[in-house]
Structure 1
Amino acid sequence: MKLAVSGKGGVGKTSFSSMLIRSLNASGRHVLAIDADPDANLAMAIGIEGGEKIVPISEMKELIFERTEAQPGSIGGFFKLNPKVDDLPEKLSARYENIKLMRLGGVKKGGSGCICPESTLLRALVTHVVLARNEVVVMDMEAGIEHLGRGTARAVDKLLVVVEPGRRSIDTAEHIRHLASEIGLTRILIIGNKIRGPQDEAFLKRHLSDFEFLGFIPYDDKLIEADLEGIAPYDTHGPAVQAVAAMMDKIDS
């Protein structure tokens, strides 16, 4: 099972991803977690000790040069477009029980797009984990699908888009669907987060009526307290965790 998670910044995308990953782990699954959002820290949210100190792969200059034969930061020129990456999940992953986590990081780029060694290595790595790995793969993406290519997208089983009651979050969901459709990714499920009651559910269903909903996560003060105290959301054992665990059967179907 290969899953990508996206949504507007601040909607709770990484918290949802971490609770889903921990729920899968608790059910006995082996999970490869990919942190593809430079503005988040999935390792900390999962509860990996020292997660904030994990160096993103995009900043590993020696590795990038070794695999692409080009200096990081260079644009154009000659470098390997199919660098070796199949050994990286074992070499570079942080571990938590049955979870392996890789932090991709971001690629600084001027203008639209980037044909550079860093992006080439990251794209090749994502392609490998989606097409060739046999674990469950969960990718915490940016507010988009930056690292997915057309061939990779076809192998993603579902794109999970986290939204909260609000116009900007809804607009982002529509934008993500448009980007996904351009690369052939049409299996999209919506997760409503920070739900205060039936009125919030109704708001999202009304404004996203042509989307399929995976479920709704209640507003949970325990998650705010966990963030303040540096505790993994899953370890709060609150209603949000229970709601995410209940979604797994539908994800599997």
Structure 2
Amino acid sequence: MKIAVTGKGGVGKTTFAAILARLYADEGKEVLAADVDPDANLGLALGFSDEVLESIVPISKMRKLVEERTGANSENRFYKLNPQVSDIPDTYAKTANGVKLLVLGTVETAGSGCVCPEHVMLKRIINNLILHRDDVVIMDMEAGLEHLGRGTTENMDQFIVVIEPGARSVQTYKNVKRLAHELGVEQVHVVANKVRDGRDEAFVREKIPIEDLLGVIHYNPEIMDADRQGCSPYEFSKTVVDEIRVMKDKIDQVS
């Protein structure tokens, strides 16, 4: 199963992705969590130690590795479009709490449609994760829609859009659904996070088709407590974990 978790910045997609990964790992599944967010903090949410996190260099920043695999360097403007990457997940992933973490990073570019060695490398790795691994792969995508425009997430089994109860988040969901369908991904679901009261929940249920809504995560200060202490929310809030567990069961049913 290959899942891309996306949404606007600050909506809680990393928290959701981390807890979902931990739930699958606790079932005994082989889980690989890929962090494709330039502000990479999925490892912290998964419960990795500071020591391990400080040792991680995103694949997109490993210039020597990119040069070695693509053949690109300052003197050579030509490079391979199909570099060998199948060994990279097992070579560079770190493991904690039953979850392998691969920090891919992203390519900072002006405008969409970038074709550069780093972009080619990341796209090949992502395609390898999607097409050639039997693990449960959960990708914490960068905020916004650029990754959809670059085509790095085609062939996913499903997209999960994390939203807040607000018009802008709902618009993001609509945009993701449209672009995902253009990539051939039919399964696009919504998780409504930080729902405070009945008005919030009613808004979500009015705006999101029932067949797309996985469920609701109610606002819970325990998540902020976990963040302040640098801990995984998985150990901090049984209530939120149980809410996401119900959604995971729905994900399993539609996959």
> TM-score, normalised to structure 2's length?
0.92
Confirm or deny that 1:163 pairs with 2:163.
yes
SS in 2 for 1:214: strand
The sequence identity of aligned pairs, in percent, is 42
Residue 202 of structure 2 corresponds to which residue in structure 1? Answer: 202
Q: CA deviation at 1:146?
A: 0.9
Q: Deviations over 1:158-181 (max 9, x none)?
A: 111101111111111112112212
**Residue identity in the other structure for 1:62:** K
CA RMSD, aligned part only? 2.0
Task: Give aligned pairs, total.
Answer: 250
Q: CA deviation at 1:205?
A: 1.6
Residue 59 of structure 1 corresponds to which residue in structure 2? Answer: 61
Residue 70 of structure 1 corresponds to which residue in structure 2? Answer: 72
Residue 10 of structure 1 corresponds to which residue in structure 2? Answer: 10
Distance 1:232 1:192 in 2: 20
Q: CA deviation at 1:112?
A: 2.6
Q: CA deviation at 1:44?
A: 0.8
Structure 1 pair 245/145, CA: closer, same or farther in 2 (3 Å)?
farther
Q: CA deviation at 1:208?
A: 2.2
Q: CA deviation at 1:52?
A: 3.8
**Residue identity in the other structure for 1:144:** L
Distance 1:66 1:157 in 2: 31
Distance 1:211 1:103 in 2: 32
Residue 138 of structure 1 corresponds to which residue in structure 2? Answer: 138
Distance 1:83 1:102 in 2: 18
Residue 227 of structure 2 corresponds to which residue in structure 1? Answer: 227
Q: Deviations over 1:41-94 (max 9, x none)?
A: 10111011135422111000100000000038x9x9310000011000110001
SS in 2 for 1:247: helix
Structure 1 pair 184/78, CA: closer, same or farther in 2 (3 Å)?
same
Distance 1:70 1:205 in 2: 50
Q: CA deviation at 1:238?
A: 3.1
Residue 110 of structure 2 corresponds to which residue in structure 1? Answer: 110
Q: CA deviation at 1:184?
A: 1.3
Structure 1 pair 229/150, CA: closer, same or farther in 2 (3 Å)?
closer
Q: CA deviation at 1:113?
A: 2.1
Distance 1:226 1:182 in 2: 38
SS in 1 for 2:147: coil
Residue 215 of structure 1 corresponds to which residue in structure 2? Answer: 215
> TM-score, normalised to structure 1's length?
0.92
Distance 1:116 1:162 in 2: 30
Q: CA deviation at 1:233?
A: 0.9
Residue 154 of structure 2 corresponds to which residue in structure 1? Answer: 153
Of residues 137-146 and 89-98 in structure 1, the stretch that sits farther from structure 2 once superposed is 137-146
Q: Deviations over 1:81-132 (max 9, x none)?
A: 0001100011000101321111111212133321110000000000000000
Distance 1:158 1:12 in 2: 18
Unaligned 5+ residue runs, structure 1?
A: none
Q: Deviations over 1:181-221 (max 9, x none)?
A: 22111211111111112221210121223761111111110
Q: Deviations over 1:10-35 (max 9, x none)?
A: 11000000011111111111101110
Distance 2:123 2:190 in 1: 25
Distance 2:176 2:160 in 1: 10
Residue 87 of structure 2 corresponds to which residue in structure 1? Answer: 87
**Residue identity in the other structure for 2:67:** F
